[in-house]
Amino acid sequence: MYTDKSVILKTMESKIMKILTSEASMNIIKVIGQFIFVVFMTAFLHWGLVNSYSQMCIDLSWTGIFTNIINLGSPFCQFMNYLQFEISKYYVTIWASAGVAIIAYFIGNK
């Protein structure tokens, strides 16, 4: 009885390994890896810009109310704020594109 289970497990293992090592599976794994890399890099850039903006352009003390008048019009601070805003828009676009790609993949493989 145990030999039958071991034969079945070895057969299943070989089939799974064939699927995982096939070219199509490798391409899917590569695309997923690239997607994860892009998501993390986008999130890291956004986080870095937000922290830099917070440190360089915002004074959290009570005098910040008055110094904000100067920093609000600073081209550097405006540029950093614009960059982080655009990166956050691209982040949403990346996830929406991934959703559309998954739907298109399943529709195309009917």
Q: What is the pLDDT of residues 1-36, one digit of tens each?
A: 455 666 666 677 777 777 667 777 788 888 899 999
Residue pointed to by tokens 């805003």:
85
Q: Widest CA span of the chain, in angstroms?
A: 82
Q: What is the pLDDT of residue 5?
A: 66
Domain ranges of the chain: 23-108
Residue pointed to by tokens 């070219």:
23
CA quadruple 93, 99, 100, 101: dihedral sign? positive
Name the band, by pLDDT with cuts 50, 70 and 90, for residue 48: very high
Count the Cβ atoms, other than its own, within 10 Å of residue 97: 11
Name the band, by pLDDT with cuts 50, 70 and 90, for residue 58: confident
pTM of the model: 0.69
Does the structure show a pLDDT above 90 at 108? no
